[in-house]
């Protein structure tokens, strides 16, 4: 009775912790990608709905959606990686506007190569600034929500300092390369997908990526497992800074210029949080990926367009958008609760 080998899980009732029941491939897939699949389904429904509203649905209409989502998608990635690490960043929108202003300051009168060089420089600067913000949070012990809120005001001020009035005149070649002609959806699709594949996928699979997830799941456990907490936190913000910088450059490409309007940043930040939540990243950290937020960003772009097609007042459309987010997240939260309850 006492010396049976614990080969059969669960046969040791009451004595030792049983080994977890091995889960099947399918259930793992469902657990990991279930939410993303749900958002993809939502996106499909919205897309079909939108197509049915329009007199014609061609390249122009597709590009309206994809290029219109590009900045939000990139910003949602920035917010996503930070939220996964267990933090939050209320300055991503201002960082985007700052990057936008910086590139709009340097890009005019430059050729395509010059613009690309500026883009890289701008992304490096936003990454450095985000690193600094992360370092301040880690070193000071002041909650991230406060530091990043303060940083958002600082960045909005810096954007005004860089560019005191809207400015345009960015090379048309650069605009086309990033945002595409008005009838060409491909560049925007490829840039969103490219950033996911080239930046996010390797990061997720790397040691740092694992540490970011571990940190978000349980800080103490991560520490006990040898994760360098401080470094990982700071580097998560750095990654966020890279994505915010990309969003800023994408904004410059899609408008052909920049403007230091603070409200652009605030709205963008809030939308990024909405996309992250709708995209299945848990605000408590450690759960979710970046594909979900990108799909959610597409949904968030489609909803107002659909409301417009229905002839709704845009202010009602905003309300509807909020209600949809609350409902989806609440329903999902309830299901999650049911799942974790011992059966």
| Interacting residue ranges for another protein, rule: CB under 8 A | 21, 23-24, 26-27, 30-31, 34-35, 37-39, 41-42, 45-46, 49, 54-56, 60-61, 64, 68, 71, 164-166, 168-169, 175, 182, 251, 254-257, 259, 261, 263-264, 267, 301, 304-305, 308-312, 314-315, 318, 320, 324, 327-328, 331-332, 335-336, 338-339, 343
In 3D space, the residue among 327, 339, 272, 281 whose CA is nearest the CA of residue 300 turns out to be 272
| Residues ≥6 apart with Cβ < 8 Å to 307 | 314, 316, 317, 320, 321
Task: Please give the span between the terminal C-alpha atoms of the chain, in angstroms, as a whole number.
Answer: 27
Q: How far is the CB of 31 from another protein (least distance, A)?
A: 6
- Nearer of residues 35 and 191 to another protein, judged by Cβ: 35
Q: How far is the CB of 217 from another protein (least distance, A)?
A: 19
User: How far, in Å, CA of 2 to CA of 12, rounded?
Assistant: 9
- Nearer of residues 7 and 24 to another protein, judged by Cβ: 24
Q: How far is the CB of 313 from another protein (least distance, A)?
A: 8
Q: How far is the CB of 60 from another protein (least distance, A)?
A: 7
- Nearer of residues 194 and 333 to another protein, judged by Cβ: 333
- Nearer of residues 221 and 335 to another protein, judged by Cβ: 335
- Nearer of residues 14 and 311 to another protein, judged by Cβ: 311
Token readout for 208 is: 């740092």
Token readout for 296 is: 């959610």
| Residue 250 CA neighbour count, 13 Å, CB half | 27
- φ/ψ (deg, to 5) at 111: -80, -175
User: How far, in Å, CA of 295 to CA of 77, rounded?
Assistant: 11
- Nearer of residues 138 and 254 to another protein, judged by Cβ: 254
Tell me the three state secondary structure of residue 167: strand
Burial 77-113 (b: 16+ CB within 10 A, else e): bbbbbbbbbbbbbbbbbbbbbbbbbbbbbbbbebeee
Query: Contact at 8 Å (CB) between 84 and 222?
Result: no
In 3D space, the residue among 309, 165, 179, 299 whose CA is nearest the CA of residue 250 turns out to be 179
- Nearer of residues 81 and 302 to another protein, judged by Cβ: 302
Q: How far is the CB of 85 from another protein (least distance, A)?
A: 25
Q: How far is the CB of 58 from another protein (least distance, A)?
A: 10
Q: How far is the CB of 290 from another protein (least distance, A)?
A: 19
Q: How far is the CB of 203 from another protein (least distance, A)?
A: 26
Query: Contact at 8 Å (CB) between 285 and 140?
Result: no
- Nearer of residues 86 and 257 to another protein, judged by Cβ: 257
User: How far, in Å, CA of 139 to CA of 268, rounded?
Assistant: 27
């Amino acid at each position: 009775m006492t010396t049976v080998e614990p080969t059969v899980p669960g046969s040791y009732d009451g004595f030792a912790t049983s080994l977890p029941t091995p889960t099947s491939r399918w259930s793992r897939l469902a657990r990991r990608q279930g939410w993303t699949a749900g958002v993809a389904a939502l996106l499909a429904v919205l897309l079909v709905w939108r197509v049915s509203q329009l007199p014609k649905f061609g390249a122009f209409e597709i590009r309206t959606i994809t290029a219109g989502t590009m900045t939000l998608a990139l910003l949602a990635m920035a917010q996503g990686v930070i939220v996964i690490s267990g933090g939050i960043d209320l300055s991503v929108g201002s960082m985007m506007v700052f990057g936008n202003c910086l590139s709009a300051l340097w890009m005019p009168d430059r050729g395509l190569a010059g613009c690309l060089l500026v883009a890289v420089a701008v992304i490096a600067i936003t990454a450095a600034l985000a690193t600094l913000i992360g370092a301040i949070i880690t070193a000071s012990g002041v909650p991230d929500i406060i530091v990043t809120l303060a940083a958002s005001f600082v960045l909005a001020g810096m954007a005004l300092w860089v560019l005191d009035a809207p400015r345009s005149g960015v090379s048309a070649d650069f605009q086309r390369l990033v945002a595409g002609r008005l009838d060409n959806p491909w560049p925007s699709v490829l840039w969103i997908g490219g950033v996911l594949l080239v930046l996010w996928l390797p990061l997720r699979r790397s040691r740092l990526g694992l540490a970011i997830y571990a940190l978000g799941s349980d800080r103490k456990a991560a520490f006990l497992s040898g994760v360098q907490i401080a470094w990982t936190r700071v580097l998560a913000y750095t990654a966020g800074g890279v994505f915010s910088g990309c969003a800023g450059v994408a904004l410059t490409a899609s408008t052909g210029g920049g403007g230091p309007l603070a409200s652009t940043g605030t709205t963008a930040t809030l939308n990024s949080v909405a996309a992250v939540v709708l995209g299945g990243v848990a605000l408590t950290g450690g759960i979710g990926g970046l594909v979900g937020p990108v799909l959610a960003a597409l949904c968030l772009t489609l909803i107002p367009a659909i409301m417009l097609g229905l002839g709704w007042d845009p202010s009602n459309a905003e309300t509807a958008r909020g209600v949809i987010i609350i409902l989806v997240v609440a329903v999902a939260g309830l299901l999650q609760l049911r799942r974790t309850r011992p059966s």
